[in-house]
Amino acid sequence: MMKDSKALRYLRRLIRFDSTSNLSNRYISKFLEIKLRKHGFYVEKIQYRDSKKVPKVNLIAKKGLGQGGLAYFGHTDTVPAPSWFTKKATPFEPVISQGRLYGRGSCDMKGSLACMLDAAQQVPFDTMVRPLYLVFTADEEVGFGGAKKVVEESKLYREMIKHGTVGVIGEPTEMGIVHAHKGSLTMRFRTIGKAAHSSTREGKNANWQMIPFLHEIWKIREETETVTDWFDDRFDPPTMSMNITMSDNNSAVNVTSPRSDVQVYIRPMPNMDCEPLVKRISHAAKKLDIDMSIQRNCDAFWSDPDSDLVKKLKSIMDTDKVDTVGYATDGGVLTEMENKVIFGPGSIRQAHTNQEFITLDQLRLGIAAFRQLIDHYCCELPIKIVR
């Protein structure tokens, strides 16, 4: 059955588009737009250029009349694939082996897109009494820029909010129901020196200025890992998982580094006020004359674990379990949509790996579950699906 599924054919085609976040997603979006229009969707297209002037496309599609209904959110971009697990295949040439389909984006999250496309085109228009929305965004992997544009500019998104449409962010959860995730905040710091031969007095090493600041960051990080005021035991790990990266781009040990760059990344949790923490870090940077910028990528995601949507998914998947996760999604930008969950095929353990795959069984479950959601929220008479 899976060999002949439209989802499998869609997924193979989607993987062949190299839609890495630093590239344009125009071509994969054009393919999706053609398929959506063919199957009766009205398509709103939001085009923009990212910070490096690369053209990007968001698609917001609607099928059916009435109000409310169901919205599915997915992203078309992927992380890079600098290395791959076999010389016999490239990351953008799908390979099926032992019940798995390998390829960049197969799990995160083109497999989910393919399942929803398959499920959506099965629904007869004359059975629909409420709308189905499909939203395909750019730049999810690099700061959720596409979703932010949708929130700012999409008329169809405003329609969803006005009429209480329920939302499913189809990220890989192994078909588990996720009602909360951490947020995403990036702080960037820079010091400027002067390059010169290190044996002379002519240079100024930017790293020396950064070192006392790093000590302050280390103390704050230790606090967030040990003081329970910063914990939320609903998550694993229960902390903000504070991370740091450093670079001075200096290739020679006898040259004074002319620049030092540090990034600090934190994952705030729902209902947690991290502004005092940000202020302390900002104060330390200002005191040491270090340039600082803040990028608030997305809020923490929270939805009622006892909502009707969660109850419906529990029924579909025959489970009582509802989870939280540590990673962030477009859902952290869609804050006005009150009734939403993270739910989709594939395992986050496979996302971003150099042997990324999704199992054919997960694709089968994804098609069936998405179809039942559409039937429940968009159609007059539910159609029983045998899984």
* Residue-averaged pLDDT of the chain: 94
Tens digit of each residue's pLDDT (9 = 90 or more) over 177-200? 999 999 999 999 999 999 999 999
Q: Tokens at residue 339, please?
A: 């009734």
Contact (CB, 8 A) for 74 and 366: no
What single string gives the DSSP state of each residue in 95-146?
EEETTEEESTTIIIIIHHHHHHHHHHHTS-GGGBSS-EEEEEES-GGGT-HH
Q: How far apart are CA 255 and CA 198, in angstroms?
A: 5
Q: How far apart are CA 139 and CA 75, in angstroms?
A: 7
Percent of the chain with pLDDT over 90: 92
Describe the crossing of helices 360-378 and 6-15 by its angle, rounded to 10 degrees: 110
Tens digit of each residue's pLDDT (9 = 90 or more) over 65-123? 999 999 999 999 999 998 776 556 689 999 999 999 999 999 999 999 999 999 999 99
Tens digit of each residue's pLDDT (9 = 90 or more) over 31-57? 999 999 999 999 999 999 999 999 999
Class of the CATH-defined domain 2-181+300-378: alpha beta
Task: Tell me whether residue 344 is exposed, middle or buried, using C-beta atoms within 10 angstroms of its C-beta: 0 to 12, 13 to 18, 19 or more.
Answer: buried
Among candidates 151, 117, 120, 102, which has minimal Cα distance to 299? 151
| Cα separation values, 153 from 60, 146, 159, 263, Å | 11, 11, 12, 30
Sorting pLDDT into bands at 50, 70 and 90, what band is 384? very low
More confident residue, 381 or 172: 172
CA 49, 27, 80, 144 dihedral sign is: positive
Percent of the chain with pLDDT over 70: 96
Residue matched to tokens 């302390």 = 280
pLDDT at 387 exceeding the cut of 50: no
Among candidates 244, 214, 241, 218, which has minimal Cα distance to 230? 241
Alpha helices by DSSP H, listed for 154-253, are 155-163, 206-226
| Cα separation values, 114 from 29, 46, 64, 95, Å | 13, 21, 20, 16
Q: How far apart are CA 233 and CA 38, in angstroms?
A: 47
| Cα separation values, 319 from 120, 173, 310, 322, Å | 24, 14, 10, 8
| pTM, rounded to two decimals | 0.91
Contact (CB, 8 A) for 267 and 329: no
| Every domain of the chain and the residues it spans | 2-181+300-378, 184-298
Q: Tokens at residue 102, please?
A: 């390998």
**Polymer length of the chain:** 387
Return the CATH architecture of domain 184-298. 2-Layer Sandwich (3.30)
